[in-house]
């Protein structure tokens, strides 16, 4: 009777040992190992770019000591360096134009030629200009190109009335406006009427605009602005009294 409990103890120990061996066999079996590997996320191999991968941002621990706070999805890129600003050189201010209004400011020979032109034009006879227009190298320039016609006949042909009286009226009107001196001290020094020929039209004051409109129409002024400059008739007389030009254009 005393040995029976001892046999039951050995049988219980053997049952416990068998259960432990079975559990170890399950854990370390090939099929169990495969199941664990399948649960892991397989990362694809990174492409070989020849550069070291960027460092990972350190996780930030939450204020309560819990899980890390996720970083922003859109990262702020560093601001690009500003390109150097190339400043355009300031346009040189146009030289101020000295507008003259008193014929007494002209040298005597130039003043005398002005008076002679006005006197001839006032007769209404365009032929009276012939002696003043000159000839040869000192002949008055009447166009940008050469003209084949007789100078008086040419002026008659470009006059709106066909007789030359419109041209005579233009001469008088121009010589009664203000004038400017250009190329002072140079061989080409010339006194030019009207002074509008030397000014940007946008810079004219209201009184100056009125003076311009005494010579041309408002439509003509708009055409000139589109053209970019005064392009009606102008007169040039040298300091020594040579009538250098009388023509339209720029």
Domain presence at residue 143: yes
Residue 96 — pLDDT band, cuts 50, 70, 90? Answer: confident
Number of domains in the chain: 1
Q: What is the pLDDT of residue 27?
A: 47
User: What are the Cα distances from residue 208, in Å, to 11, 196, 211, 228, 235?
Assistant: 131, 9, 5, 17, 18
Domain presence at residue 225: yes
Listed residue (155, 148, 147) closest to 130, CA to CA: 155
Q: Give, for 5, the enclosing helix (H) or strand (E).
A: helix 4-27
Instruction: Provide the sign of the torsion angle of the four alpha carbons 118, 120, 126, 128, taken in this order.
Output: negative
Count CA within 13 A, CB hemisphere, residue 190: 16
**Helix/strand/coil (H, E, C) string of 58-100?**
CCEECCCCCCEECCCCCCCCCCCCCCCCCCCCCCCCCCCCCCE
Q: What is the pLDDT of residue 55?
A: 54
Q: What is the pLDDT of residue 54?
A: 53
Domain presence at residue 205: yes
Domain presence at residue 30: no
Which tokens sit at 141? 């320039």
Look at residue 181 and tell me whether its pLDDT is greater than 60: yes
Question: Average pLDDT, stretch 127-134?
Answer: 96
Q: Which domain holds residue 232?
A: 103-247
Q: Which of 48-57, 58-67, 81-90, 233-242 has the lowest mean pLDDT?
A: 81-90
Look at residue 170 and tell me whether its pLDDT is greater than 90: yes
In degrees rounded to 5, what are phi and psi of residue 237?
A: -130, 130
- Check residues 172 and 74 and name the one with the higher pLDDT: 172
Q: What is the pLDDT of residue 145?
A: 87
Domain presence at residue 177: yes
Look at residue 5 and tell me whether its pLDDT is greater than 80: no
Q: Which of 20-24, 84-88, 117-121 has the lowest mean pLDDT?
A: 84-88
- Check residues 21 and 236 and name the one with the higher pLDDT: 236
Question: Average pLDDT, stretch 140-149?
Answer: 91
pLDDT averaged over every residue in the chain: 77
Q: What is the DSSP string of 6-63?
A: HHHHHHHHHHHHHHHHHHHHHHTSHHHHHHHHHTSPPPPPPP--SSPPPPPPPPEEPT
Tell me whether strands 243-247 and 180-182 are parallel, antiparallel or unpaired. Answer: unpaired
Q: Give, for 4, the enclosing helix (H) or strand (E).
A: helix 4-27
Question: Average pLDDT, stretch 71-93?
Answer: 42
For 98-110, the pLDDT digits (tens) are 999 999 999 999 9
Domain presence at residue 26: no
Helix residue ranges, H only, 89-234: 108-122, 130-133, 151-158, 165-175, 206-213, 218-227
Domain presence at residue 108: yes
pTM surpassing 0.85?
no
- Burial class of residue 230 (count of CB atoms within 10 Å of its CB; 0-12, 13-18, 19+): buried
Tell me whether strands 190-193 and 68-69 are parallel, antiparallel or unpaired. Answer: unpaired
Domain presence at residue 114: yes
For 18-72, the pLDDT digits (tens) are 556 555 554 444 444 444 444 444 455 555 555 555 555 554 545 555 544 444 4
């Amino acid at each position: 009777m005393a040995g029976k409990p001892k046999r039951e103890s050995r049988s219980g120990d053997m049952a416990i040992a068998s259960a432990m061996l079975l559990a170890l066999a399950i854990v370390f079996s090939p099929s169990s190992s495969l199941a664990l590997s399948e649960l892991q996320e397989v990362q694809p191999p990174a492409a070989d770019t020849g550069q070291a991968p960027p460092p990972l941002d350190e996780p930030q621990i939450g204020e309560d000591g819990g899980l890390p706070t996720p970083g922003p999805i859109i990262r702020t890129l560093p601001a690009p360096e500003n390109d150097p600003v190339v400043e355009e050189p300031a346009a040189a201010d146009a030289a101020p134009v000295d507008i003259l209004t008193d014929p007494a400011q002209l040298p005597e020979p130039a003043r005398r030629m002005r008076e002679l032109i006005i006197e001839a034009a006032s007769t209404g006879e365009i032929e009276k200009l012939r002696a003043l227009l000159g000839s040869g190298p000192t002949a008055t320039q009447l166009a940008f190109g050469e003209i084949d016609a007789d100078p008086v006949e040419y002026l008659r042909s470009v006059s709106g009335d066909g007789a030359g009286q419109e041209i005579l009226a233009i001469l008088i009107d121009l010589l009664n406006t203000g004038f400017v001196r250009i190329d002072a001290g140079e061989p080409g020094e010339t006194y030019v009427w009207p002074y509008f020929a030397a000014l940007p039209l946008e810079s004219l004051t209201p009184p100056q605009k009125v003076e311009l409109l005494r010579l041309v129409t408002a439509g003509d002024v708009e055409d000139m602005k589109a053209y970019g400059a005064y392009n009606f008739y102008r007169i040039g007389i040298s300091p020594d009294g040579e009538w250098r030009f009388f023509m339209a254009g720029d």
